[in-house]
Amino acid sequence: MNNKNTPDAKSSARLGRDEHGDPMSQPQWADSLRSLYDSVVDEPIPDTFKDLLAQFDEPKKASSENGGSE
């Protein structure tokens, strides 16, 4: 019987461990994906998006200024 088809072997592979339970090294694509993610996170928020967020905050400000009656 091939133990690679057992649920334990499959779940351990997803957890980054080989069939003996030893940690596996990260695949090369994982470093590239991390680099791409970091570059996106470091991008500034566009002014148009900031303006849109400010518009969503305006009703909250208006209701708090009116004592929350709206």
Task: Report DSSP letters for 10-69, one per residue.
Answer: HHHHHTTB-TTSPBPPPPHHHHHHHHHHHHHHTSPPPHHHHHHHHHHHHHHHHHHHTTT-
Residue 56 pLDDT exceeds 70: yes
Farthest CA pair distance, the chain: 72
Given a cut of 70, is residue 21 above it in pLDDT? no
Higher pLDDT, 39 or 67: 39
For residue 13, pLDDT beyond 70: no
Going 5 to 7 to 8 to 10, the CA torsion angle's sign is: positive
Chain mean pLDDT for the chain:
74
Q: Which residue has the higher pLDDT, 64 or 57?
A: 57
